[in-house]
Structures are given as structure tokens and as C-alpha cells.
């Protein structure tokens, strides 16, 4: 990895100093967790006693949705994909309104703690368990991939310098997350995510403003230079390409509908708001801010590209932002970047571990349905599941480190296409039709549909000599196949 000569700021901002700020930030999170988890019980863990303020949930969800992937990968895509990611963001915006005015009313009407209980009431136990298991698999893979990305950056730029191995780093970070989510669950996460979103956005704004100032540019100059080089191009009009604008917008909308509206982690925070109206206000505000924030991340990517050209830096992709922030910018910016990076790490992991614990306890074990177990026994079971899921996370982080793939955002979208497709088909069939199904056949349909998609994506173009590239629309194809399969087994 060839780069230009870094300035002296990183020499001053040693790994030890950065590490001290990491620990201080974590102690702040622990303080928030201690305060918010007082008098907590299982209901506090699962749904925050349905007392969360909609504005806090809206702001905190920004951090959860962005995660370390957006923080690191989206700026790194601008050099080779221009602003085409904004097509997906426009799709997200449409999808959030579907979630707000179609799915949320349904969840509040049924007074759900786990949204997959809807599948039980609509179809039966097999469809219900299948939906919950797909969420558990998808969220485990997606969250651990995001977690790996950020841990890897911390490792390369701080902890390797302290002689701490990647394996130890992963254990320590997961222990940190366990410490502040173990008791309070959603009740705590609503507050910690709000704090972390603030620091993530602070890091984004500070880096944009400083780099523009260092290059002597204003916003108009930046956009003009990026336009000259073609990097502000948003819409791709090549219908065969995987970044074709209709694919990206429609795919983005369905990603939001599934990965937010049919995702227990995201909905767990929304349905912790006391009223449906509050939850809908949260979603509308959140969706508007998300569009602006994602555009700012793309602008940052363009600035990083211009800065790298100016300084002779040859780093690309996911390594570009951390390399420049930690090796070329002043010490105070490095500190803010690291805090922003950690703030991107924790919301994508703490919420996932909590939601997976909730889903496994409620949907798979049937904790809430069991009237025999005492509250203390239920709490012990929930804590045990929480610990086991953290260990599973650790194993997957080690696995992603082993394969060491740099295209994180592409892998995430592929995972979403295969695992959320059956959820899309199940929920769509339940909402759009009045048919019952032969419930025992539901798991088979939800396995066959992704298998067909896999064959089509990796083998059909070669065998059929097709130039068509399957991209983000895989989610919609998978969901449609699941829907068709459920139609065949309708009663």
C-alpha cells in the first residue's frame, strides 16, 4: 500500500492517546447504561416498557442504519462508482414511508413485541419460526460483518501499535457491548444510540469542513471539480448494469421495507414508542435526515478523492477514509474520527445482539408465552441467550477476518437479498392476500426461493449467455419467488 508521506500529526497522536479516548468514551456509555437500566425487567429489555420518546428513537436510528459500513465504505465507493449510491438512498426514502404507513399500523394494532408474531397469527407456527430464523441468520451475518469492518480499522490504526492482537480486540469490544446492554436492553440502547449518532455525525461534519478548508475549497468548488471528473454522476441509465437507476431505486425501497420494516432490531426501537403517531413521526423525520446524511457521506468521499490526488495518496476503497483521517489530518480530527468510528461500531452491534436475544427468547424459546416460568428464571434464560449470541458474534468476526474481503458493502447487499427475500414474500403474502397457507410447507418454500436465486445469479448468465447483471434487485426477485411459492400452497 503506497501512500505519500504523512504529516507529523499522527506522530503526536499516538495509539496510546487514541486508546485513552476510546476507553473514556466507553466509560461514558457505561454511565448512560447504568442510569437508564435502573429498575429494568424483561419488558424493559424487549420493548423499553413502550415509553421511548419518538424524537430520541428517530435520532438514534440514524446511527443504527448508517453503521460502520456507511462510515467507512460509502466514502470509499465514490472513486469508482461516483455518486450512484444515492440512487439507493432515494429508494430508502420511499421505503421508509411504506414502513411508516403500512407496517407500523399493523404492528401497533396487534400490539406486538416481536414483529414475527404477525406470521404466527396470520399463517401458523411454521411460517412464524421460519421468519424468525431468517431474521436471526441475516442479522447475525450482517451485524458481524459490520462489526468486523470497524474492529479491523481500529486494529490497523491503533491496537497493532500497542501490540494487542485482533482476536483480543474483538473479545474486549464484545465484552464492552455486553456490559452496557446486559440489563437494560432496548431501554438503554435508545439513549446510547442517540449519544453515538451525535458523535458519528460530528465526525462526519468536522472531517468535511476541515478537508475543504485544507484544500482551500468551498462547497461550490468541490462540486464543480467533482462534476468535471464525472464523480457527481448519480443516475446510471445502462439497463444491463447492476447500478441501473430503476434497479437501485426499487431495490433500495425494498431493502428499507425489509431491513427496517421487517427487521426486529429496527422495529424493536420503533414499537417501544408509546403511540403509533409518535412512531410514524419518528420514521418520517428519520428518513428525511438519512437522505441528507448519506449525501454528506458521498460528498466526503469526493473530498477524500480530491485530497488523495492533491497529496499523492494511492490508498483506495475502505482504507481511504481512515488512512487520511489518522495519518494526514491534525490530532484533534483524528480523535473525533476515532470516536465517530466507535460510534458507528456500537449501534450496529449492540442493537443487533439485543434484537437477536429478544427474537430468540420470544420467537424460538417462547419466553413470553410460557406462563409457568417465574420472572427470575426468564431473566436468567434471557441473559444466557444474550451471552451465547455474543460468543456467536465473536466466532463470525474471526471468520470474516480469516477471509479478509474488502468489498463489505457489496457482501452486505448480497446477504440481504438472500435472507430478507423470504421475509418479504411472507409479509407481502400476508398483507396483500386473504389466503391461508399449508403452514408446514412454508419452510420448504423459503429455502427453495433463495436457492433458485443463487443458481440464477451465479450460473444462469454463463449458461444462457446473458449480459444482464443481477444486483440489488435480488431481494425483490427472491421475495417474488417466495410469494409465488406461498400462492401454490394456499388453502
pLDDT digits (tens, 9 = 90+) for 1-12: 334 444 444 434
**Residue 477 resides in a domain:** no
- Split at pLDDT 50, 70, 90, the class of 271 is confident
**Residue 421 resides in a domain:** no
Cell numbers found for residue 192: 446510547
CA torsion sign, 353 to 358 to 363 to 367? positive
Domain hosting 311: range is: 9-405
Quick: pLDDT tens for 102-128.
999 999 998 888 899 999 999 999 999
Residue 379 has pLDDT above 70, yes or no: yes
Quick: pLDDT tens for 332-342.
888 888 888 77
What distance in Å separates the CA atoms of residue 423 and residue 357, rounded to the nearest whole number? Answer: 19
**Residue 96 resides in a domain:** yes
Please give the pLDDT value at position 431: 94
Please give the pLDDT value at position 194: 79
Q: What is the mean pLDDT of residues 78-96?
A: 88
Q: How many domains does the chain have?
A: 1
Residue 487 has pLDDT above 80, yes or no: yes
Please give the pLDDT value at position 9: 41
Q: Count the alpha carbons within 13 Å of 126 in the hemisphere toward its beta carbon.
A: 13
CA angle 92–97–103, rounded 5-degree value: 110
What distance in Å separates the CA atoms of residue 279 and residue 270, rounded to the nearest whole number? Answer: 6
Q: What is the mean pLDDT of residues 297-319?
A: 84
- Do residues 269 and 186 make contact, with C-beta atoms less than 8 angstroms apart? yes
**Residue 3 resides in a domain:** no
What distance in Å separates the CA atoms of residue 146 and residue 144, rounded to the nearest whole number? Answer: 5
Please give the pLDDT value at position 468: 62
Q: List the beta bridge partners of residue 273.
A: 52
SS3 letters across the chain: CCCCCCCCHHHHCCHHHHHHHHHHHHHHHHHHHHHHCCCCCHHHHHHHHHCECHHHHHHHHHHHHHHHHHHHHHHHHHHHHCCCHHHHHHHHHHHHHHHHHHHHHHHHHHCCCCCCHHHHHHCCHHHHHHHHHHHHHHHHHHHHHHHHHHHHHHHHHHHHHHCCCHHHHHHHHHHHHHHHHCCCCHHHHHHHHHHHHHHHHHHHHHHHHHHHHHHCCCHHHHHHHHHHCCCCCCCCCCCCCCCCHHHHHHHHHHHHHHHCCCCHHHHHHHCCECCHHHHHHHHHHHHHHHHHHHHHHHHHHHHHHHHHHHHCCCCCHHHHHHHHHHHCCCHHHHHHHHHHHHHHHHHHHHHHHHHHHHHHHHHHHCCCCCCCCCHHHHHHHHHHHHHHHHHHHHHHHHHHHHHCCCCHHHHHHHHHHHHHHHHHHHHHHHHHCCCCECHHHHHHHHHHHHHHHHHHHHCHHHHHCCCCCCCCCHHHHHHHHHHHHHHHCEC
% pLDDT > 70, the chain = 85
Q: What is the mean pLDDT of residues 286-303?
A: 89
**Residue 140 resides in a domain:** yes
More confident: 344 or 490: 490
Q: What is the mean pLDDT of residues 19-41?
A: 75
C-alpha to C-alpha distances, 57 to 72, 271, 363, nearest whole angstrom? 24, 10, 24
Please give the pLDDT value at position 10: 40
**Residue 127 resides in a domain:** yes
C-alpha to C-alpha distances, 290 to 205, 287, 344, nearest whole angstrom? 14, 5, 14
More confident: 16 or 47: 16
CATH of residue 318's domain is 1.20.1730.10
Q: Count the alpha carbons within 13 Å of 120 in the hemisphere toward its beta carbon.
A: 17
- What average pLDDT does the chain have? 82
Please give the pLDDT value at position 38: 64
- Split at pLDDT 50, 70, 90, the class of 408 is low
Please give the pLDDT value at position 350: 73
Give whichever of 5-14, 147-156, 173-182, 250-259 has the largest mean pLDDT. 250-259
What distance in Å separates the CA atoms of residue 114 and residue 390, rounded to the nearest whole number? Answer: 20
Q: What is the mean pLDDT of residues 441-451?
A: 95
- Do residues 359 and 136 make contact, with C-beta atoms less than 8 angstroms apart? yes
- Split at pLDDT 50, 70, 90, the class of 316 is confident
More confident: 137 or 193: 137
pTM of structure = 0.78
Please give the pLDDT value at position 407: 56
Residue 59 has pLDDT above 90, yes or no: no
- Do residues 221 and 54 make contact, with C-beta atoms less than 8 angstroms apart? no
Nearest Cα neighbor of 264 from 431, 420, 115, 137 is 115
**Residue 171 resides in a domain:** yes
Quick: pLDDT tens for 191-235.
777 787 888 889 889 999 999 988 888 888 888 888 888 888 888
Give whichever of 5-14, 53-62, 186-195, 279-288 has the largest mean pLDDT. 279-288
- Split at pLDDT 50, 70, 90, the class of 99 is very high
Please give the pLDDT value at position 7: 47
- Split at pLDDT 50, 70, 90, the class of 144 is confident
Give whichever of 1-10, 124-133, 348-357, 393-402 has the largest mean pLDDT. 124-133
Please give the pLDDT value at position 245: 85
% pLDDT > 90, the chain = 21
Residue 430 has pLDDT above 70, yes or no: yes
**Residue 264 resides in a domain:** yes
Amino acid at each position: 500500500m503506497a501512500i505519500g508521506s504523512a504529516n507529523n500529526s499522527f506522530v503526536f497522536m499516538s495509539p496510546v492517546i487514541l486508546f485513552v479516548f476510546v476507553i473514556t468514551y466507553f466509560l461514558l456509555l457505561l454511565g448512560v447504561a447504568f442510569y437508564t437500566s435502573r429498575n429494568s425487567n424483561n419488558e424493559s429489555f424487549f420493548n423499553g416498557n413502550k415509553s421511548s420518546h419518538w424524537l430520541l428513537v428517530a435520532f438514534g436510528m440514524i446511527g443504527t442504519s448508517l453503521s460502520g459500513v456507511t462510515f467507512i465504505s460509502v466514502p470509499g465507493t465514490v472513486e469508482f462508482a461516483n455518486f450512484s449510491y444515492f440512487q439507493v438512498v432515494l429508494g430508502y426514502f420511499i421505503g421508509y414511508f411504506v414502513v411508516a404507513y403500512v407496517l407500523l399500523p399493523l404492528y401497533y394494532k396487534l400490539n406486538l413485541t416481536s414483529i414475527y408474531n404477525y406470521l404466527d397469527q396470520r399463517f401458523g407456527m411454521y411460517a412464524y419460526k421460519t421468519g424468525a430464523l431468517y431474521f436471526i441468520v441475516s442479522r447475525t451475518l450482517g451485524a458481524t460483518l459490520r462489526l468486523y469492518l470497524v474492529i479491523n480499522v481500529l486494529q490497523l490504526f491503533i491496537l497493532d501499535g500497542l501490540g494487542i492482537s485482533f482476536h483480543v480486540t474483538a473479545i474486549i469490544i464484545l465484552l464492552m457491548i455486553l456490559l452496557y446492554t446486559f440489563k437494560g436492553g432496548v431501554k438503554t440502547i435508545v439513549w446510547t444510540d442517540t449519544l453515538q449518532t451525535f458523535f458519528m455525525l460530528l465526525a462526519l461534519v468536522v472531517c468535511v469542513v476541515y478537508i475543504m478548508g485544507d484544500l482551500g475549497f468551498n462547497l461550490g468548488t468541490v462540486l464543480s471539480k467533482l462534476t468535471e471528473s464525472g464523480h457527481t454522476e448519480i443516475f446510471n441509465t445502462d439497463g444491463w448494469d447492476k447500478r441501473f437507476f430503476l434497479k437501485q431505486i426499487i431495490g433500495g425501497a425494498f431493502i428499507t421495507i425489509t431491513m427496517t420494516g421487517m427487521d426486529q432490531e429496527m422495529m424493536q426501537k420503533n414499537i417501544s414508542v408509546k403511540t403509533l403517531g409518535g412512531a410514524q413521526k419518528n420514521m418520517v423525520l428519520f428518513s428525511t435526515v438519512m437522505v441528507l446524511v448519506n449525501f454528506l457521506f458521498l460528498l466526503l468521499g469526493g473530498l477524500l478523492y480530491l485530497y488523495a490526488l492533491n497529496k499523492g495518496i494511492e490508498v483506495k476503497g475502505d482504507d481511504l477514509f481512515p488512512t487520511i483521517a489518522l495519518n494526514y489530518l491534525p490530532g484533534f480530527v483524528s480523535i473525533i474520527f476515532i470516536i465517530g468510528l466507535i460510534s458507528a461500531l456500537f449501534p450496529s452491534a449492540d442493537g443487533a445482539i439485543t434484537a437477536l436475544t429478544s427474537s430468540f427468547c420470544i420467537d424460538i424459546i417462547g419466553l413470553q408465552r410460557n406462563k409457568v416460568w417465574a420472572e427470575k428464571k426468564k431473566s436468567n434464560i434471557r441473559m444466557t441467550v444474550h451471552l451465547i449470541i455474543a460468543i456467536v458474534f465473536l466466532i463470525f468476526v474471526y471468520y470474516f477476518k480469516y477471509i479478509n474481503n474488502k468489498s463489505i458493502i457489496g457482501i452486505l447487499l448480497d446477504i440481504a437479498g438472500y435472507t430478507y427475500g423470504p421475509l418479504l414474500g411472507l409479509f407481502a403474502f400476508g398483507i396483500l392476500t386473504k389466503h391461508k397457507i399449508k403452514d408446514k410447507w412454508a419452510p420448504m418454500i423459503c429455502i427453495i426461493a433463495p436457492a433458485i436465486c443463487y443458481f440464477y445469479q451465479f450460473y444462469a448468465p454463463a449458461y444462457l449467455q446473458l449480459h444482464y447483471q443481477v444486483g440489488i434487485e435480488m431481494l425483490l426477485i427472491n421475495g417474488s419467488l417466495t410469494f409465488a411459492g406461498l400462492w401454490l400452497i394456499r388453502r
